[in-house]
Structure 1
C-alpha cells in the first residue's frame, strides 16, 4: 500500500480576520513588485516603496527601520 506524504499548508487568508484596507493593498502590491523584480534586500524594497509613493505611516519617510516595524505591526 502506498502512503502519500502529508505536508501541512496554509489556506490563503486563513489567519486573516478582515479584508486588507487600501493602505495594506498598496504595501502588498509594492512588496510583490519588488519580489517580482528579484529585489530581496530591505534597502531595495524601501526604494520600491518610495518609487511607488506608498503612503508612509505618520508622514515619515520610508526607511529600512520603518519598514521592519510596519511589517511587524501588520503581522502582529
Structure 2
C-alpha cells in the first residue's frame, strides 16, 4: 500500500447525519474557538451569549455541556 492508497474518511464512525441543533452547536463552537474561547467556562459563556441554547432551551452550564458532549461522542 502506498500513501496514495490511503485516505481520510472524517465521518467513518458516524452512524447518522447530525441534527440541525448539532450543526448549529458545532458552528457556534468553531466561532467560539476562533474568538479565543478555549476553556470550558469561556466556551459556556460564549454559548450563553450567542446561542444556540441547550437542547431543552435552558442556559448552558459546564455540566450540561459536558454531558451533551459525552452523549454525542458515543
TM-score range, shorter chain: 0.7 to 0.9
Larger Rg: 1
Gaps of 5+ in 2: none
TM-score scaled by structure 2? 0.79
Pairs aligned (count): 70
Aligned equivalent of 2:45: 47
Q: CA RMSD in A?
A: 2.1
Gaps of 5+ in 1: none
Q: Hey, which bits of structure 1, 4+ residues long, moved more than 4 A?
A: none
TM-score scaled by structure 1? 0.77
Deviation at 1:64, TM superposition (A): 0.7
